[in-house]
Structure 1
Amino acid sequence: MTGVLLEDSILEGLDDEQRAVATTLSGPLCVLAGAGTGKTRAITHRIAYGVRTGVYKPQQVLAVTFTARAAAEMRTRLRDLGAAGVQARTFHAAALRQLQYFWPQAVGGTLPALVDHKAQLIAESARRLRVTTDRAAIRDVAAEIEWAKVSMLTPDAYMGAAVGRSEPAGMDLTTVSRIFSAYEDLKLDRNLIDFEDVLLSTVGILEDDERIAATVRAQYRHFVVDEYQDVSPLQQRLLDLWLGERRELCVVGDASQTIYSFTGASSRHLLDFTKRYEGAQVVRLVRDYRSTPQVVKAANTLLAARSKEADRSTAGTTWSAPLELVAQQQAGPEPAFTECSDDEAEATECVRRIGALLDQGVKASEIAILYRTNGQSEAYEQALASAGIGYQLRGGERFFQRREVRDALLQLRAAARTQGDEDVPQQVRDVLASLGYTSVAPQNSGAVREKWESLAALVGLADELARVRGAEALTLQLFVAELEERAAAQHAPTVQGVTLASLHSAKGLEWDAVFLVGLSEGLMPISFADTQEAVDEERRLLYVGITRARRHLAMSWSTSRSPGGRASRKPSRFLDALRPAGTGQAAFRQPRAKAARKSAGPVTCRVCKRPLLTGSERKIGRCNDCPVSYEEETFEALRAWRLGEAREKDVPAFVIFTDATLVSIAEARPESLDQLGELAGIGSAKLERYGEAVLGIIGDNA
């Protein structure tokens, strides 16, 4: 293939706007990219096209983004496009690399050790000042110190700049300033630096030593900054020093996805880009390739409602006009709105809907439950566990730090030195089998299931790489190298199981189905959002949540926190614009049949008659500690049949029926399809698909 054809191949498949981005290789460029519009594709193809045409030297391009995962994904895409030498890093990673190299000549000696977590030092600083703190207070003070440092404020300057901000942990600004000062002194005494110091020190060296600044500018001549709406004043200052007087800068962002203002991020740098760089080209990406028209409409409507408020405002507003997305996918289902009586009922209803999606063939890894605060996850963890549905908590233990993953890497390294390169995915399966991997998921929950999920994720990655890069080109050595690179960048493969995540941590991700839960006043917007700017940020946060969904979108809220509690909660004000016209709140409540069943009194155990408290107990109809009433042979026959179905369909066994549902069937011993259909966990689709087989097993074991 000639060079011209290779260049043209990089532009293939890009729409007109993406192609404009990819072929604009010089001068300041601002890409305003809505959610799902292919911004990463556009900028990686731009870099690759610049390298292929000879405009860029790979080693002179620095692409900067905000998460290690995003940087790793960008490096992978660039490598696949033939631009392997380009540096793609986070701001902190790029600055740390420069700091490690230049510290000896700029400062002298060895670079101080890096503090991973501030909590211990802040707690000690507070104790020295005789300030009482708990874990939550320490967390809040740490966040406030981080905001101050990325805003380039000293402890003394902090007090003036923080006027009007909410007081962390109820502390006055003077106390926070004193803890901040003591924290900085403690780091100095122990020769330590934190992540903000990495940026501050790099800025200081580049400002003070023109020779070092010139060396950096000679190394990097072209810059790309992704998620530019999240840049802090400190990061912008560092970027300015990297650039010097040059204008070879491409920024990509969306002001409507600014959700980190509390950390010091500001969309002002993005919105004022054309003022700062006169003559800068602007390209708008609005074609949404991720979501259905129904999801896109909900996202557009949410922002348009705020724009109408801004238009009516007589006092002026800082709300910026949003990009209006244009859906490119085929039509899908309308978003679902559900009002529930309490948090537990909301979790149960959410998991019921998830079970229905699993029945339809949606993979568990393509489903997410998103909430405003991490404390909301517990009810959903319990509901999923009771239903026998696997899940993963985003923000938990890092994937590559899990013991089974570390053991797998050791085994795969050893195998790569001795084995051939035929059928790498099968080799990976064979190696991991010694650690407990099987082709069918185990029925156990807890640690056994989590271990299997980790190993299955590695197998899935092997399959994906063989498909993308070609089975013939993939060797076991290359697969191990890919794992090692991902481990360094914490770029974890996809783990099977429903994702539980906060709205903030879901940024940059997407799923086929998204459940936005807890959408009541006080949670969305959060209760401490007491200014128009804070409420606007909450609206943008919900927008980010909506745009994570490809096809299925469900939004729910509850009227009280606990069962039997006072129904004092109201649905989020943001939902007013999203509900179909002409319908009231009552239209979105749970199905009437469920409400009637609830009004008749609590569900009781058929053995001891006590109220059933958990979803699992209500599903099987008795307390967990009451004696079982099924024949063991019947239950084992049902499990054996389920295992065979799971293997035939190559799905986890719980997708067929959960353990709780099998117990319910074995105890009820239904004699007809109608009786079987009355049991919890058996919808019409499962009844049609498996009903006759289940009744046959019951009959055979009569």
Structure 2
Amino acid sequence: MTASAQPAGADAQAAQPPEAVLAGLDDEQREAAATLTGPLCILAGAGTGKTRAITHRIAYGVRSGVYDPHRLLAVTFTARAAAEMRSRLNSLGAPGVQARTFHAAALRQLQYFWPMAIGGTMPEILDHKVRLLSEAARRLHITTDRAALRDLASEIEWAKVSTLTPDSYLEVAAGRAEPGGVDHRTFAKLYQSYEDVKLDKHLIDFEDVLLLMVGILEDDERVAAQVRQQYRHFVVDEYQDVSPLQHRLLDLWLGGRDELCVVGDAAQTIYSFTGATPSYLLEFTRRHPEAKVVKLVRDYRSTPEVVQLANGLLTDRTREQASLQARSRDTGETVPAWPDPLRLVSQREHGPDPQITLHDDDDSEAAWIADQIAGLQRSGVSLGEVAVLYRTNGQSQAIEQALAKVGVSYQLRGSERFFSRREVREAIAALRTSSLVAESEESVPKTVRDILSAHGWRREAPESTGAVRERWESMAALVSLADQLDAEREDFTMRQFLAELEERSAAQHAPTVEGVTLASLHSAKGLEWDAVFLAGLSEGLMPITFAKEQREIDEERRLLYVGITRARKYLSLSSARSRHSGGRGRRSPSRFLRPLRRELGLEEPTRKIAPSSGRTNPNSRVRKSTATCSSCGEVLTTGTEVKRRRCADCPARYDEELFERLRQWRAEQAQSLEVPAFVVFTDATLEVIAERRPTTRAELLEVPGVGERKLEKHGEALRAVLEGRG
């Protein structure tokens, strides 16, 4: 970055003593940031400010003279994260640091050293493997469809990042599922044929970028010496997601030196299917016995209620480990290690309890989620701060339809890229060319608003949906970004704003768009929202059907953990009994919800039971013990009916006057806490309280939906109402 493109506040930052950059960090973050030399391992839980810690560490090292910014390489796993890191370092007065993904860093080196190490013209990089794989299959007279080719491409990627050749693949393939419907031996031949086609066409793929750079560094001492002279210090973020190939490249970059800082959390390992392994993080102190280890456990993102649920999900697996090991002694199966997870401690004020709901079918679940989101919007929660997350992309359709029905806008993460949108390109072009940029003495936010108002931006959002609303949301995101950067940087100028837009566009680091985010759990990694709805948490989806072995089920648990920890305040976990309306209700809620229900003091839901035919099905998984209505004896089929202990057709038996007093108290309590009323207690819980009139703590805890946390938060006020004092 040139001097003219540096933040205007950089000079002011540089005038301060280096220690000033450590101000505002907590004790653990400060310890990590102040450790500038030698191997350092930062174990950072979700929401604990790991990016803040490592960017302040780099800035402190640069400003204290320990680091030359041009000789430090910070590696992360997405272009977006790398752009965010560079942006923060610029704001901290430490421009010039290289923050890149493994692939971007390796590609830059490969392009530079190709003439010296190999010579000739460097091959073009292949965007997608499917076309070449199809030709490779034809050469072997193998018939495949497009879906199978995608599976085969994924297996090739896994093999390559695991440093397996077509010959060595068969040595480790025995325990893996057969990819794309072909046996392992046939796949190995197809893998070799793909490599041959690639060579014939003078092409390389993304994995080859890493493999070629590894080969050059291993074979050419001149290149290795030059790279090690260029980079003296390394920082690796998301270290739990490093693959064997990436780690091999990192070792070659280091060349036996130990100036390495790694940051990660084994509980957030969710990319094992791509070759990622947390073993390098877990064994870091074995490889570097002198390493310093700092644990970040103060969660600044989520409320205590969300954090407790996340902790409970991992603790439940820790409790299982002993029984799994005992069983393995009988079966001979290998039980994967389950390291003690970081136990997070929330630094935020208390918020609403998470919800766990069960619905009749996917459409009912989606409609309920849409209604809840509409309610949050009415209460003042921005739609840009709401997300619906699911295990597979195919689950989004019902949710999209339900949101459209209630007039709530949304964006699909992974669809058209923000900076590729026509209205965004036009808006940025207008910002570049407008005479206001050169002449205006107004602030950046004011200038951006003035320019974009001629292109469809208004202070108030349009009431219509569709293209008009989408265009406004795109420009509103640019306005919001201008506000954010102006608040963060002193003497912020339009020139700097345009430079930031250019860098973000190159990295596809999009600002937040106003609209509910719909995304898969995997694509939500690294993001956060005020409200998160985790949908479709049924067996077969969470954990996914093909997760059979314990290590695969553990990965699914970690994936749900990542989903839970995306929420700052509101969290909902839901499932449906069947896929379609009128279905037979064969689905079961995810096994992972059981410990979470215990955390919340909720009862297990009952299953719908069809009338008996007089015959016993030996394969039936229906529970022998079911809940029935205390008035008519009918089987209860919903969580609300079970809580009330009566079906919807039978009259209520509670004290209606007391019930209304409880509702009035709940409304006042919700208003004071600034949460929706149902978050305090649902109507069904209030009905049970009005019916039973509990007077002691033990009696209150017997009411479904109360629980220890709610009793701690609302118990005294609730007893006052029951005793006529409130």
TM bucket, shorter chain:
0.7 to 0.9
Judge conservation of contact 2:214–2:248 (CA < 8 Å) in 1.
yes
Which residue, 18, 43, 61 being the options, matches 1:32? 43
Which residue pairs with 1:467 in the alignment? 487
Alignment CA distance shift 1:2-1:48 (3 Å): closer
SS of equivalent to 2:319:
helix
Matches within 5 A, 1:209-608: 209-312=220-323, 313-314=325-326, 315=328, 316-415=335-434, 418-470=438-490, 473-579=491-597, 580-581=600-601, 583-586=603-606, 589=638, 591=640
Alignment CA distance shift 1:379-1:247 (3 Å): same
1: CA distance between counterparts of 2:206 and 2:397?
Answer: 31
Q: CA deviation at 1:238?
A: 0.3
AA aligned to 1:468 is E
1: CA distance between counterparts of 2:314 and 2:198?
Answer: 44
AA aligned to 2:520 is S
Q: CA deviation at 1:420?
A: 2.6
Judge conservation of contact 2:336–2:551 (CA < 8 Å) in 1.
no
1: CA distance between counterparts of 2:290 and 2:494?
Answer: 50
1: CA distance between counterparts of 2:109 and 2:103?
Answer: 10
2: CA distance between counterparts of 1:373 and 1:47?
Answer: 38
Which residue, 131, 136, 159 being the options, matches 1:120? 131
Q: CA deviation at 1:565?
A: 0.5
Q: CA deviation at 1:425?
A: 1.9
Judge conservation of contact 1:310–1:317 (CA < 8 Å) in 2.
no
1: CA distance between counterparts of 2:453 and 2:200?
Answer: 50
Which stretch shows the higher mean deviation, 577-586 or 42-51? 577-586
Deviations 1:381-403 (A, max 9, x none): 11111111110111111111112
Deviations 1:3-30 (A, max 9, x none): 7953222111111111110111111011
Structure 1 residue runs without a partner (length 5+)? 601-702
SS of equivalent to 2:74:
strand
SS of equivalent to 2:524:
coil
Alignment CA distance shift 1:157-1:468 (3 Å): same
Q: Between Structure 1 and Structure 2, how many residues are aligned?
A: 597
Identity over aligned residues, as a percent?
A: 63
Q: CA deviation at 1:540?
A: 0.4
RMSD: 2.1
Which residue, 192, 207, 216 being the options, matches 1:196? 207
1: CA distance between counterparts of 2:459 and 2:31?
Answer: 46
2: CA distance between counterparts of 1:390 and 1:123?
Answer: 39
Q: CA deviation at 1:90?
A: 0.4
Which residue, 22, 28, 51 being the options, matches 1:17? 28
Alignment CA distance shift 1:476-1:589 (3 Å): farther
State yes or no: 1:68 paired with 2:65. Answer: no
2: CA distance between counterparts of 1:11 and 1:438?
Answer: 40
1: CA distance between counterparts of 2:169 and 2:464?
Answer: 52
Which residue pairs with 1:659 in the alignment? none
Deviations 1:141-197 (A, max 9, x none): 111111011011112222222221122232211232232222212221111111111
1: CA distance between counterparts of 2:476 and 2:582?
Answer: 42
TM-score by length of 2: 0.79
Judge conservation of contact 1:338–1:589 (CA < 8 Å) in 2.
no
1: CA distance between counterparts of 2:588 and 2:211?
Answer: 45
Matches within 5 A, 1:126-205: 126-205=137-216
Structure 2 residue runs without a partner (length 5+)? 1-11, 329-334, 607-635, 650-726
AA aligned to 1:415 is S
TM-score by length of 1: 0.82
Which residue pairs with 1:643 in the alignment? none
1: CA distance between counterparts of 2:442 and 2:197?
Answer: 56
Which residue, 47, 69, 75 being the options, matches 2:58? 47
1: CA distance between counterparts of 2:125 and 2:468?
Answer: 35
Q: CA deviation at 1:317?
A: 3.8
Alignment CA distance shift 1:134-1:446 (3 Å): farther
Q: CA deviation at 1:127?
A: 3.3
Q: CA deviation at 1:591?
A: 4.9
2: CA distance between counterparts of 1:99 and 1:44?
Answer: 27
Judge conservation of contact 2:243–2:276 (CA < 8 Å) in 1.
yes
SS of equivalent to 1:451:
helix
SS of equivalent to 1:585:
coil
Judge conservation of contact 2:359–2:577 (CA < 8 Å) in 1.
yes
SS of equivalent to 2:434:
helix
SS of equivalent to 2:136:
helix
Which stretch shows the higher mean deviation, 344-353 or 315-324? 315-324
SS of equivalent to 1:20:
helix
Which stretch shows the higher mean deviation, 107-116 or 370-379? 107-116
Judge conservation of contact 2:47–2:302 (CA < 8 Å) in 1.
yes
Q: CA deviation at 1:132?
A: 2.8
SS of equivalent to 1:97:
helix
Q: CA deviation at 1:483?
A: 0.4
Judge conservation of contact 1:121–1:183 (CA < 8 Å) in 2.
yes
SS of equivalent to 1:578:
helix
2: CA distance between counterparts of 1:2 and 1:349?
Answer: 50
Q: CA deviation at 1:592?
A: 5.4
SS of equivalent to 2:531:
strand
AA aligned to 1:80 is S
Deviations 1:465-518 (A, max 9, x none): 122224xx2222221111001011111111110000000000011111110110
AA aligned to 1:11 is L
Which residue, 87, 93, 105 being the options, matches 1:82? 93
4+ residue stretches of structure 1 with deviation over 4 A? Answer: 1-5, 586-593
Judge conservation of contact 1:339–1:588 (CA < 8 Å) in 2.
no
Q: CA deviation at 1:441?
A: 2.4
1: CA distance between counterparts of 2:126 and 2:353?
Answer: 47
1: CA distance between counterparts of 2:422 and 2:188?
Answer: 41
AA aligned to 1:563 is S
2: CA distance between counterparts of 1:546 and 1:346?
Answer: 18
2: CA distance between counterparts of 1:165 and 1:116?
Answer: 26
Q: CA deviation at 1:311?
A: 2.4
Deviations 1:403-436 (A, max 9, x none): 2212222222112664434232232223223332
Q: CA deviation at 1:582?
A: 6.0
Alignment CA distance shift 1:402-1:124 (3 Å): farther
AA aligned to 1:362 is V
